């Protein structure tokens, strides 16, 4: 994982191998303005059980069970980035989305990792969703 750095005036933290790290709030602002596409790289099971962002593109980086690489990831992310928009990638805690952003970058796309992910880091009791993340920040989400 990249060490936290001070964001530039644009709100983007420098990163190695992809366009940068951004806050959930900046990612949402970019999506709302039409500047970026939100790509949820969590597994189908995570989105079904934990919640999802309405309108996000579901494209698993790894798939449950077994967390095997998704063979459709490359084609899917290339299709989403074909229009030249930024891609903002979301996972549970901002780790898998780094690997997915690096792969998207290798494919020639402008991809950003969303810091904190959907659920954020665990707190002192190993509970997620209480110290950061998309849901904690009050951004749009739903649960089945």
What percent of the chain is predicted at pLDDT more than 70? Answer: 94
Distances (CA, A) of 76 to 3, 35, 68, 72: 29, 19, 16, 6
Mean pLDDT value of segment 79-87 = 95
* Nearest CA among 139, 141, 142, 123 for reference residue 131: 123
pLDDT of 133 reads 94
For 1-60, what is each residue's pLDDT tens digit?
445 555 566 899 999 999 999 999 999 999 999 999 999 999 999 999 999 999 999 999
β-sheet bridge partners, residue 88 = 38, 112
Task: Please state the domain extents for the chain.
Answer: 20-114
The CATH H-level (homologous superfamily) assignment of domain 20-114 is Rhodanese-like domain (3.40.250.10)
| CA pair distance 3, 27, nearest whole angstrom | 19
pLDDT of 67 reads 82
Q: Does residue 80 surpass a pLDDT of 90?
A: yes
Find out whether 136 and 129 touch, Cβ atoms under 8 Å: yes
- Residues in the chain, how many? 144
Q: Measured between alpha carbons, how far apart are the two ends of the chain, in Å?
A: 31
pLDDT of 125 reads 87
What percent of the chain is predicted at pLDDT more than 90? Answer: 75
pLDDT of 4 reads 53
């Amino acid at each position: 994982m990249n060490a936290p750095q001070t964001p530039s005036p644009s709100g983007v933290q420098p990163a190695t191998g992809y366009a940068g790290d951004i806050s959930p709030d900046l990612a949402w602002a970019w999506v709302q303005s039409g500047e970026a596409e939100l790509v949820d790289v969590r597994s189908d099971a995570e989105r079904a059980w934990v919640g999802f962002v309405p309108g996000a593109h579901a494209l698993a980086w790894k798939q449950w069970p077994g967390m095997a690489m998704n063979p459709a990831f490359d084609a899917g992310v290339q299709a989403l980035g074909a229009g030249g928009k930024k891609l903002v990638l979301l996972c549970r805690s901002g780790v898998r989305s780094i690997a997915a952003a690096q792969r998207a970058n290798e494919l020639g796309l402008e991809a950003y990792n969303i810091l904190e992910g959907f659920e954020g880091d665990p707190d002192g009791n190993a509970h997620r969703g209480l110290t950061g993340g998309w849901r904690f920040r009050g951004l749009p989400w739903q649960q089945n």
